[in-house]
Chains A and B, each alone.
Chain A
Amino acid sequence: DGGITQSPKYLFRKEGQNVTLSCEQNLNHDAMYWYRQDPGQGLRLIYYSQIVNDFQKGDIAEGYSVSREKKESFPLTVTSAQKNPTAFYLCASSINRNTEAFFGQGTRLTVV
């Protein structure tokens, strides 16, 4: 089945630790995205990538980093510099930029 797989579903992190969220897609999509969702707010773009080895900052990139070494994979690292990392993180992909995006099932990160 084609789709987007995010792992883990739930993640707990101690303050001061970096943590990496996984996102894999087998849809052969060029573009991939990371969004953050907080209660009562729309999706906010963290980073996006339109092609392998290239990525761009979104609206709230501070405290996050990404890589795009393979077309299928777009991992997100939440660093200790992110002051309020507890949130629901969504990975998405699309054929190309600005077309409809398909989402994974999300990772809920909690800082303890």
Chain B
Amino acid sequence: QKEVEQDPGPLSVPEGAIVSLNCTYSNSAFQYFMWYRQYSRKGPELLMYTYSSGNKEDGRFTAQVDKSSKYISLFIRDSQPSDSATYLCAMSRLTGGFKTIFGAGTRLFVKA
């Protein structure tokens, strides 16, 4: 079993839709959660990060963490064609040695 599971998609939605992207993880040592957006042939760009369970909002983006279920989500409201990209979840532990794991990414297409 992979430590982080992320549906690769592709996910295709019409412009203006609410998008839900998800990752599950198996290691309860992960305490720090991140979402990255990656356009084709570019490096990943950090969108959001959070330590705690619950919701964190930034503009059209909301990151949600449920540590009891080992489940994290990224919601995109009023999706735009410019949101078309691959979205990577990532998670780290805060103690012990270095360990950051990335999901394989979900490819999102927003149709105008």
What is the CA–CA distance of A108 and B43 in the complex, to the nearest angstrom? Answer: 11
Asked whether A103 and B4 contact (CB < 8 A) given A40-B104, A42-B102, A42-B103, the answer is: no
Produce 1/0 per residue, B30-57, CB < 8 A to A: 0010101000011111100100000000
The count of residues in chain A whose C-beta lies closer than 8 Å to any C-beta of chain B is 26
| Closest B residue by C-beta to A45 | B100
Range of interface residues on B (Cβ < 8 Å):
20 to 34
Q: Say yes or no: A90-B44 contact (C-beta < 8 A), given A40-B104, A42-B103, A98-B98.
A: yes
Question: What's the least CB distance linking A40 to chain B, in Å?
Answer: 6
Per-residue CB contact flags for chain A residues 88-112 toward chain B (1 = under 8 Å, else 0) read 1010100001111111111010000
Q: Which residues of A contact B (CB under 8 A)?
A: 4, 6, 31, 35, 40-43, 45, 48, 50, 56, 88, 90, 92, 97-106, 108
